[in-house]
Amino acid sequence: MTSSAIPSKKTLAGLAPPPLKPASFLAILRSTKGNPFEIIPLQAYEEPIYLSKWLLGAVLMVNDPEGIRRVLLDNVANYPKEDLGDQFFSAMFGEGLLSAPGPKWRTHRKVMAPSFGTRTVESYAPAMVETTIDFAERWDALPDFAEIDIAAEMKALTLKIICRTMFSSDAEELAAHAGEALEFAQASMEFGLLDILPLIGPRRLQAKQDAIRAHFKSIDAAIYRLIGEREKIRHEAPKDFLTRLVAAKNPDDGVGLNATEVRDEVITIFMAGHETTAVTMTWVWYLLSQHPAEEAELHKELDTVLAGRIPTVEDLPNLPYTKMVIEESMRIYPPAPGISLREAKEADEVCGFKVTPGLQIMVSPWILHRHRRLWEDPVRFDPTRFSKESSEKRPRFAYLPFGGGPRVCIGATLAMTEAILILAVLAQRFRVRLKEGEEVTLQTRITLRPRNGMMTILERRKPAAAADRQRAAELSHE
CA 397 to CA 368: how far, in whole Å?
9
Q: Has residue 394 got a pLDDT over 80?
A: yes
Q: Is the dihedral of CA 257, 263, 265, 269 positive or negative?
A: positive
Amino acid of residue 366? W
Question: Given this model, what pLDDT does residue 467 score?
Answer: 52
Q: Has residue 326 got a pLDDT over 50?
A: yes
Would you tell me how many other CB atoms lie within 10 Å of the CB of residue 416?
20
| Between residues 408 and 294, the one the model is more confident about | 294
Query: Which pLDDT tens digit goes with each residue over 142-182?
Result: 999 999 999 999 999 998 898 888 877 656 666 666 667 77
Question: Given this model, what pLDDT does residue 218 score?
Answer: 78
Query: Which pLDDT tens digit goes with each residue over 113-150?
Result: 888 888 889 999 999 999 999 999 999 999 999 999 99
HSE at residue 89, side-chain half, CA atoms within 13 A, is 23
Residue 444 has φ and ψ, to the nearest 5°, of -105, 115
Q: Has residue 186 got a pLDDT over 90?
A: no
Question: Given this model, what pLDDT does residue 7 score?
Answer: 44
Q: Is the dihedral of CA 454, 460, 465, 468 positive or negative?
A: negative
Q: Has residue 471 got a pLDDT over 90?
A: no
Q: Has residue 64 got a pLDDT over 80?
A: yes
CB 418, CB 277: distance < 8 Å? yes
To the nearest whole percent, how much of the chain has pLDDT over 90?
52
Question: Given this model, what pLDDT does residue 12 score?
Answer: 92
CA 236 to CA 244: how far, in whole Å?
12
CA 129 to CA 124: how far, in whole Å?
9
pTM of the predicted protein model: 0.89
Selection from 15-29, 228-242, 263-277, 382-396 with the highest mean pLDDT: 382-396
Would you tell me how many other CB atoms lie within 10 Å of the CB of residue 349?
11
Mean pLDDT score across all residues of the chain: 86
CA 459 to CA 139: how far, in whole Å?
10
CA 48 to CA 61: how far, in whole Å?
8
CA distances from 74 to 61, 67, 71, 102, 346 (A): 17, 10, 7, 16, 14
CA 326 to CA 344: how far, in whole Å?
34
Q: What is the mean pLDDT of residues 432-449?
A: 92
| Between residues 23 and 154, the one the model is more confident about | 154
